[in-house]
Amino acid sequence: MKSFFQPSFCYHLPMNANEHIATEERSVPEHHAPERPAQERKDPTYLFTEKYVADKSEIARRFIETRARLNANVDKANNFLVKRFYNIDHNTYLEGALPAKTKELMGLVASACLRCDDCVIYHAIQAYRLGVTRVEQEESLNVALVVGGSIVIPHLRRAYELLEELYG
């Protein structure tokens, strides 16, 4: 029985150097998806500024200041690929088919599962700024715990410490 992750063929390229298949034989049948109208994207409406959050939470203040300082170093490098990635990241979290709040909670879950404390703090702050409730953030962290397993717990603890400072 073949594993799902080990395909025996590839529609686009031969699987080994000795395999020479005519283009007609390996082409993928055409199918056309219906054209969708372009999704309008806009910046989210934040209820709170970064300064407000920094004044409310020492954890948030340290994070925001450190992030700004480190981003200044990255900006000095003037790296084209990093700028493109930052642009993709920015555009991903704009309002669209999914509300920015939902995207930030998805980012929070993924960050906890990937065990990135900076990312967890960032997405928790952004979600807070967008008006996400503490209960919504906690429920999202529950999803992260189930998906990521017990390895998420240390990051969950730090997230809860931030949530306590933000929401009380």
| Structural tokens at position 15 | 């699987």
Pick the more confident residue, 160 or 3.
Answer: 160
Q: Which residues pair with 42 in a beta bridge?
A: 95
Identity of residue 142: N
Residue range 47-66: mean pLDDT, rounded? 98
Distance CA 102, CA 53 (A): 20
- Give the tens place of pLDDT for each residue, 75-94: 999 999 999 999 999 999 99
Distance CA 90, CA 69 (A): 19
Give the model's pLDDT for residue 37: 75
Give the model's pLDDT for residue 122: 98
Q: What is the value of pTM for the model shown?
A: 0.78
Domain ranges across the chain: 50-167
- Give the tens place of pLDDT for each residue, 100-122: 999 999 999 999 999 999 999 99
Give the model's pLDDT for residue 95: 97
Q: Is the dihedral of CA 43, 47, 48, 49 positive or negative?
A: positive
Give the model's pLDDT for residue 106: 98
| Structural tokens at position 101 | 């709040």
Residue range 131-153: mean pLDDT, rounded? 98
- Give the tens place of pLDDT for each residue, 3-53: 444 444 444 444 444 444 454 455 556 677 777 777 788 999 999 999 999
CATH architecture of 50-167: Up-down Bundle (1.20)
